[in-house]
Amino acid sequence: MSEHIIDHYANQIPILPGEYLPAYLARLRKMTCGIEPRRLMSFSGSTQMGKLHQLFPRVASCFAYRPSERERSGALLQEHLGARYWRGFLDERAYKEHVQQVNLKVKSKRSIFDGEELLDSLKPMKFCEHCRDDDIDRYGTPMWHAAHQVTSLYVCEKHRVPLHQFSMEPDKTLLDYPVITNFVAAKSASVQADPLRTWLDVASKQLLKIRTIHNRERIKDIKSDMARAFRAKETPYTMRVNIEYRNAWRSYAADSLNALCPNEQCFKFFLARPSLGLTQQLKQNAPVRHPLIFLLAMKFAEDMVGGNLS
């Protein structure tokens, strides 16, 4: 098997510990300026770079079972922090089929999670000022950390300080900001703490601490707990939940998404999607939803019926 260019350069310029994978690809591109973006990205079936952070976890998923001559299968992602967060929401068989499709150059859907594209505005690049200083001292480059890019994380686990957010201009991508430059630092703003973000941050960190296989079991248990709390009745074909709970969830989801990101297009999209209703968050075998929506359903359940599901 011929070695792909990504394997060749990944051995020469390895990913830094904890580095955000899409940013690493952007950094590779900058350090190997002679490579065409299409050639670099061909391992994932992409035809262009686009906004690399929007492609996560699609780009990252292609590394999870990636073979190569140097036996680097999954080396860039096997325990890539952040993978534990979203892989727990995926059926492993469906996940492997997705990767296989990409490897065979079969057109695969752009996103793994329903509504991922619309949640893009909820995902500004984030960094910790202290981590940035530490990285400059240790590696000579202020890298983007994978742990900071999880959508629902707002506080640095290591330094216990609010993360800073940086929103790229519409015509810019990580190719323009492969590392946290002084310009990025100057244009960033600290995440403002509030009860919802604090709860999401804590719940997300708890999921990140659990290995993927146990994470899946934990999510199944939480679904069962929520279904019992709402007195939902599941049959092989449907899930019945009191209409008052369903309507309250729609209102809660809209308000929460609007608070997290004042983007009318974003939360109206979710309100119009039956697949993102409360019953779909409770069903064990429902198609995958974005983890943020599931976390909001957990918070909604705790607020409505009491108890601690996280």
What is 25-59 written as a DSSP string? HHHHHHHTTTS-HHHHHGGGT-SS---HHHHTTHH
Tell me the pLDDT band of 168, cut-offs 50, 70 and 90: confident
Domain boundaries, the chain: 5-113, 120-190, 212-305
Structure tokens of 271?
A: 């309100």
The mean pLDDT value for 31-57 works out to 65
Single-letter code of the amino acid located at 186: A
With CA atoms as reference, report the closest residue to 10 among 2, 103, 1, 21: 21
Tokens 């752009």 belong to 110
Tens digits of per-residue pLDDT, 224-262?
A: 999 998 999 887 777 889 999 999 998 898 888 888 876
Return the higher-pLDDT residue of 187 and 88. Answer: 187
Output DSSP code: residue 155.
B
The pTM of the full predicted model, rounded to 2 decimals, is 0.83
Instruction: Yes or no: say if 24 and 15 are a contact pair by the CB < 8 Å rule.
Output: yes
